[in-house]
Amino acid sequence: MVRNSEAYWKSFNWNRAIKAAMDAAGADYSGEYGFIETTMHWPLSHMVAPKEEALGCNECHSRNGRLSELTGFYMPGRDKSDLLDLIGWLAVLGTLGGVSLHGFVRVFFSRKRRNG
């Protein structure tokens, strides 16, 4: 267990906090750390409150929406990928097929067992 005094938000010391966490995890720590550039993905609510100020989904998630000029990432509703669409439909159909097959097999064997 990491002692509270070693937590980053208590000591503001990255090296000490990382070492304590790695020790608690039973892992080796080289003493070196670094940072990478990251991006933030917003939840479905897009952090808009109150709800009266929220826009409809298609205001942004459409080809001519408010975010049409932003590039470099995939935005559902705006961008299209035939491969992604195919994978999505195969997943849906595979799930439906698997559930249907499972149900059929259960019914079939329960009747077979009952009729002995």
Chain segment 61-90, per-residue pLDDT in tens: 999 999 999 988 888 889 988 999 999 999
For residues 71 and 85, membership in a common domain is answered with no
d(Cα 23, Cα 4) in Å, to the nearest integer? Answer: 14
Same domain, residue pair 95 and 112: yes
8 Å CB contact between 4 and 10 = yes
71, 95: one domain: no
Do 91 and 116 lie in a common domain?
Answer: yes
Higher pLDDT, 116 or 50: 50
- For residue 95, the enclosing domain spans 81-116
Shared-domain flag, residues 50 and 23? no
Residue 1: the pLDDT is 55
Pairwise CA distance, residues 21 & 15, whole Å: 10
Give the count of domains, the chain.
3
Asked if residue 15 and residue 46 are part of one domain, the reply reads: no
Local confidence band at 53 (pLDDT 50, 70, 90 cut-offs): confident
pLDDT band at 2 (very low <50, low <70, confident <90, very high): low
Q: What is the mean pLDDT of residues 3-11?
A: 80
Distances in Å between the Cα of 102 and the Cα atoms of 4, 93, 97, 109 are 50, 14, 8, 11
Same domain, yes or no, for 28 and 13? yes
**pLDDT for residue 19:** 92
